[in-house]
Amino acid sequence: MNLTSPAIDIPILMVDDRPENLLSLEELLSNHGYELVRASSGNEALLLTLKQDFSLVLLDVQMPGMDGFETAELMRANPKTKHIPIIFVTAGMKDIKFQFKGYDAGAVDYLAKPIEPLILQSKVKIFAELYRQRREIELHKHHLEELVELRTTELSRSADELKTSNEQLLDRNRELQAIEGLLRRQVIESAETHDQLLATEEMLRVQIEEYQAAQKLLNESNTSLQTLFDVSPLAIVVSSFPAGIIREINRTFTADFGYPVDHVIGKTGVQLGLWSNFDERKRFLGLMHEQQDISGFDTEIKTFHGENRSVLLYSTLMDFRNEPCMLIVFLDVTEQKRMENQIRQTQKMDVIGQLAGGVAHDFNNMLTAILGSAELMIRHVQHDSAAMKLLGSIQKAASRSAELTGQLLAFSRKGHNNAVHVRVDTTIHEAISLLERTIDKKITLKTKLIAKNYRVTGDPALLQNALLNLGLNARDAMPEGGVITFSTINVELDSKYCESSPFSITPGQFIEISVADTGTGMTKEILQHVFEPFFTTKEVGKGTGLGLAAVYGTITDHHGCISVTSEPGVGTIFKLYLPLSIGHKNDTASSEELTRGSGGILLVDDEEILRTIGEALLEDLGYRVYLAEDGEHALEVYAREKENISLVILDMVMPRMSGKETLIRLIESSPDIRILISSGFHQEGTADELERLGAKGFLRKPYLRQELYKAVSDAIGDMK
Ligand code: ADP
Ligand code: MG
């Protein structure tokens, strides 16, 4: 520590009644770092010393009132101030007596005025140093005391802590002793129950084993349930009840209806758009509420890709992951329904076909008579132009009627099927060249005949007629013009296709003939009825509704099938499938020149009018004609005129003995006999059967002269 340390103030009290003295003292002592305090009387000095500690008092002796000596004595008398050094400053009392009095009063020194500055300064310096040292010692002491006190507090605290831990230790010890006692008791007790414990443990072990076995079984059955759920061929959904939030679906559900699992879980059927009809869902949930169980709920749902599917729903309530749920099984019956629909359609067509066939048969007989009579009459009225004109009208009307009846018969498949080999591409070209004459220039006809094999067995006239019908319909559907395309390709229809088809077709090679147009197309409703006879959307007089019915009949009669696709505003495609011929017969017979025939013909028919016409036509062709009105009569005539008869024309449908029976009997009596079957009506398969029995051919009613001539000359032709 050094003297100038600012840490310690060094206060000096100057006491004098004269301010000028104080000022001169102050001047001498300033600039030494002292704190100089003034007092102008002994009283003031006493007061100040009581308030503050001073290093030194410079005390004037002679002062009015209390003088310096008295002041010093009083300071010495007070323990608080008695240690403060006093230096008397005096002017007059240099006398030693006074000096002693001063020392008695407690002064430590004397300074006589005039004051020698150096002496004053050095004396003051000594006391200042003393004071500083004393203060330092005091501070140090104080610091030490503080330290001691601190240590003492710490010590006492540690002592307290020690005491506490000691008490705690004691407590713990007591506790331990208690526990030890307890343990001892327990050890004794457990020794007693040891056997008991062993028994319990064994029991537990058995129970755990049983539980594990049960758990294993449960796991196994859970796995097999999960497997069942997944491999089930039926789509299954588990959804909460009644909210309908889907919790689980099986793989089949995804496979059948396309919904990915992630997309479905946590959603309702409504959110997925699963229900085609929202009311159906309400009805379903209502039933679940009522009966908790539904079997065979017939409805429609939408697949992920927006397709409608017919399904039967089977549903029951169950607990699934602690939640009431519905287990819903979906049975997809779309295909079944479609088949049922088709079969119903086919059956309907069959019934209508039979009806139409029956009517057409009678019509045909009448028309044969009308046409025949008209042809014969021409010769008689050749010179009467008015009568000729009327006859022409009769012929025209009857021909038109015959055409219609022909279509009806084609539809009912009761018509006559001239089974020869037909080149489909030739038939198509012929049909197109006929169409070109009736079709507007706005319509383009195109062909794409790709099929390499195009021979089918059948009636070329009927097939051509079918193609014409399709072409004319296409024309009618394109009043503003467009394109009609005829195309062919070879296809193979396998057994799977044939079995699922409502048509009776056998697997094998087919030719597919399609007729496509870019016309108006058809709505679903129209499509459902197109093949029905008399179904037409055309104005009265423009459509008969028989065209497609005839096409349908012709194609089914040829053991083929037909399909149609159409889109309103886009167009329509009809596809015909005909089985290809195996082997090779003659192609379409070429029309021969009419030459006159010769020889005798037996004409058997129960209708008198047909016998008359037939006789006239045949005679006109050069034949000699024998007539019979029924089977028995025919047998009789044939037996008698056998030598003169080279051909029998036999009607199939006759009262009493049928045409077939007559045929059998005739062949029995003379195996070489030539018989031509004539009918407007025969059951399917009959033609083949009669051919097998020995018939030489068929003559379809109503027949024209040329047709009659051709059939007859074909049947007896190889005789010549
Ligand atoms: P018609 O031609 O006498 O009306 P069809 O049996 O030939 O009788 O046809 C029946 C109905 O089918 C037609 O009236 C028409 O509505 C519809 N149809 C047939 N072919 C087509 C086609 N190519 N485009 C549009 N509609 C057609
Ligand atoms: Mg038509």
Q: Assign domain 232-332 one CATH number from 2.170.150.70, 3.30.450.20, 3.40.50.300, 3.40.50.2020.
A: 3.30.450.20
Mean of all residue pLDDT scores within the chain: 85
- Nearest atom, ligand 1, residue 535 CA: 10
237 and 226 Cβ atoms separated by less than 8 Å: no
Our answer on whether the CB atom of 543 is closer than 6 Å to any ligand 1 atom is yes
Q: Assign domain 600-719 one CATH number from 3.40.50.2300, 3.20.20.120, 3.30.930.10, 3.30.1280.10.
A: 3.40.50.2300
**Which one, of 281, 273, 280, lies nearest residue 243 by Cα?**
281
For position 177, what pLDDT does the model report? 85
- Nearest atom, ligand 1, residue 472 CA: 2
Burial class (CB in 10 A: 0-12, 13-18, 19+), 40: middle
Matching CATH topology for 11-115 and 600-719? yes
Alpha carbon distance 669, 602 (integer Å): 15
Tell me the domain boundaries of the chain: 11-115, 136-230, 232-332, 420-579, 600-719
Our answer on whether the CB atom of 399 is closer than 6 Å to any ligand 1 atom is no
- Nearest atom, ligand 1, residue 473 CA: 20
Q: Which ligand is nearest to the CA of 548?
A: 1
Class for the domain spanning 11-115: alpha beta
pLDDT per residue as tens digits for the range 89-134: 887 666 666 667 777 776 778 888 788 888 888 888 888 888 888 8
pLDDT per residue as tens digits for the range 151-206: 878 878 877 888 888 888 888 888 888 888 887 887 777 666 677 778 877 888 88
Our answer on whether the CB atom of 536 is closer than 6 Å to any ligand 1 atom is yes
pLDDT along the chain (720 residues), means of 10: 58 92 89 90 91 90 87 88 86 66 74 83 87 85 84 80 83 84 77 73 85 83 80 92 93 93 93 91 94 93 93 93 93 87 76 77 84 85 88 88 81 65 90 85 93 88 90 94 96 89 89 96 93 88 86 90 94 96 49 61 87 83 90 92 90 84 90 85 64 82 77 70
Q: Return the residue whose CA atom lies nearest to atom 27 of ligand 1.
A: 473
Q: Which ligand is nearest to the CA of 545?
A: 1
- Cα-to-centroid distance, 464 and ligand 2 (Å): 14
**Which one, of 455, 508, 419, lies nearest residue 686 by Cα?**
419
Residue-wise DSSP of 212-268 = HHHHHHHHHHHHHHHHHHHH-SSEEEEEETTT-BEEEE-HHHHHHH---HHHHTT-B
Residue-wise DSSP of 294-356 = EEEEEEEEE-TTS-EEEEEEEEEEEEETTEEEEEEEEEE-HHHHHHHHHHHHHHHHHHHHHHH
Helices and strands: H and E segment counts in the chain: 21, 22
Our answer on whether the CB atom of 530 is closer than 6 Å to any ligand 1 atom is yes
- Cα-to-centroid distance, 708 and ligand 1 (Å): 33
- Nearest atom, ligand 1, residue 550 CA: 6
- The encoded tokens of residue 469 equal 């019908």
Alpha carbon distance 617, 621 (integer Å): 6
Q: Which ligand is nearest to the CA of 411?
A: 1
Q: Return the residue whose CA atom lies nearest to atom 11 of ligand 1.
A: 536
Q: Which ligand is nearest to the CA of 535?
A: 1
- Nearest atom, ligand 1, residue 548 CA: 6
Q: Return the residue whose CA atom lies nearest to atom 14 of ligand 1.
A: 536
Our answer on whether the CB atom of 508 is closer than 6 Å to any ligand 1 atom is no
Length of the chain: 720
- Cα-to-centroid distance, 530 and ligand 1 (Å): 6
- Nearest atom, ligand 1, residue 542 CA: 3
For position 286, what pLDDT does the model report? 94
Our answer on whether the CB atom of 523 is closer than 6 Å to any ligand 1 atom is no
- Cα-to-centroid distance, 540 and ligand 1 (Å): 13
From 403, 525, 536, give the residue whose CB has the most ligand 1 atoms within 8 Å, as the site to mutate.
Answer: 536
Alpha carbon distance 579, 581 (integer Å): 7
From 445, 473, 572, give the residue whose CB has the most ligand 1 atoms within 8 Å, as the site to mutate.
Answer: 473
Our answer on whether the CB atom of 522 is closer than 6 Å to any ligand 1 atom is yes
Residue 671 backbone dihedrals phi, psi, to 5 degrees: -60, -25
Q: Return the residue whose CA atom lies nearest to atom 13 of ligand 1.
A: 536
Q: Which ligand is nearest to the CA of 472?
A: 2
Residues facing 298 on adjacent strands? 312
Q: Which ligand is nearest to the CA of 574?
A: 1
- Cα-to-centroid distance, 543 and ligand 2 (Å): 6
Q: Return the residue whose CA atom lies nearest to atom 17 of ligand 1.
A: 530
- Nearest atom, ligand 1, residue 545 CA: 8
For position 191, what pLDDT does the model report? 67
Q: Return the residue whose CA atom lies nearest to atom 7 of ligand 1.
A: 547
* Helix, strand, coil in percent for the chain, rounding step 5: 50, 20, 25
From 476, 528, 531, give the residue whose CB has the most ligand 1 atoms within 8 Å, as the site to mutate.
Answer: 476
420-579: CATH superfamily: Histidine kinase-like ATPase, C-terminal domain (3.30.565.10)
**Which one, of 62, 63, 67, 58, lies nearest residue 15 by Cα?**
58
Instruction: Judge if pTM exceeds 0.95.
Output: no
For position 94, what pLDDT does the model report? 61
Q: Which ligand is nearest to the CA of 540?
A: 1
- The encoded tokens of residue 630 equal 């029924």
CA–CA distances in Å: residue 187 to residues 137, 193, 609, 618: 72, 10, 131, 135
Q: How many CB atoms lie within 10 A of CB 404?
A: 16
